Amino acid sequence: MRHLLLILMAAGDAKRYGENKLMVEIDGKPMFRHVLDHLVRYKDENEEDTELVVVSQFDEILNLAKDMRFTAIKNDRPQDGISKTIILSLEGREQDREEAGVFFTADQPYLTYETIRAFLDRAKVEEKGILSARSPKGMGNPVSFDKKYYAELRQLTKDQGGRLVALEHEDDTAWFEASDREMSDIDRPGEVVPKA
């Protein structure tokens, strides 16, 4: 069974949004808090085999993450793209134990705890090295990578994300079906995804 490194990516500039979208209130709390709170809950229920990491350029997010028992990593070069966040999150991860890095984005406020829990419980035991969520609209986050893929993830550049590694290893990729709503990320002001 794999140890899980849960990584919340919260470093983007949100240029399409026009402001720091992660601090915009969605359903009563800042956008980034939705997934962050779910990961803390999962950690509380799976204390021994779970670690929490958040990578962000925003001190407000990093300080709160520290208070909530995350390892907080500052990304001071978000302009280098998502690859910078991925590389920072995996620094020093060379343990002998079985492990997977599971990547979440902070702009998916409709992702439910039940879906996250089911995904992570499967990621612990999935025979294939990669587990990716997908909806009828296609592949998305979260994505889990067995540590055998860490070296490839560290080779990503600019805005190359984990999708590139997964597509290179489709024969070792399993799929977790989720709804379009849960998989939706918020990119523009006023963008709300209605319930089905």
Letter string b/e over residues 67-84, b meaning 16 or more CB atoms within 10 A of that residue's CB: ebebebbebeebebbbbb
What is residue 161's predicted lDDT score, i.e. its pLDDT? 87
Length of the chain: 196
Q: Where are the alpha helices (DSSP H) in 103-178?
A: 113-125, 150-154, 162-168
Helix 113-125, helix 31-45: angle, nearest 10:
50
Neighbour-count burial of 112, counting CB atoms closer than 10 A to its CB (0-12 exposed, 13-18 middle, 19+ buried)? middle
Nearest-angstrom CA–CA distance, 59 and 73: 10
DSSP letter for 127, please: S
Q: Looking at residue 97, what DSSP letter applies? A: S
Domains of the chain: 3-183 (3.90.550.10)
% residues pLDDT > 90 (the chain): 68
Please write the tens of the pLDDT for every residue from 125-164: 999 999 999 999 889 999 999 999 999 999 998 888 898 9
Residue 81: C-alpha distances to residues 7, 9, 126, 154, 159 (Å) = 16, 11, 29, 13, 4
Its pTM stands at: 0.91
What distance in Å separates the CA atoms of residue 120 and residue 2, rounded to the nearest whole number? 10
Contact indicator for 100, 7 with CB cutoff of 8 Å: no
The per-residue pLDDT for range 24-58, each reduced to its tens digit, is: 888 889 989 999 999 999 999 999 999 999 999 99
Q: What is the mean pLDDT of the chain?
A: 89
- Report pLDDT for 111: 95
Of residues 32, 20, 25, 70, the one with CA closest to residue 50:
70
State the amino acid at position 135 in one-letter form.
S
Who's near 184: CB < 8 A, 6+ residues apart?
Answer: 108, 110, 193
Let me know: does 145 contact 48? Beta carbons within 8 Å. no
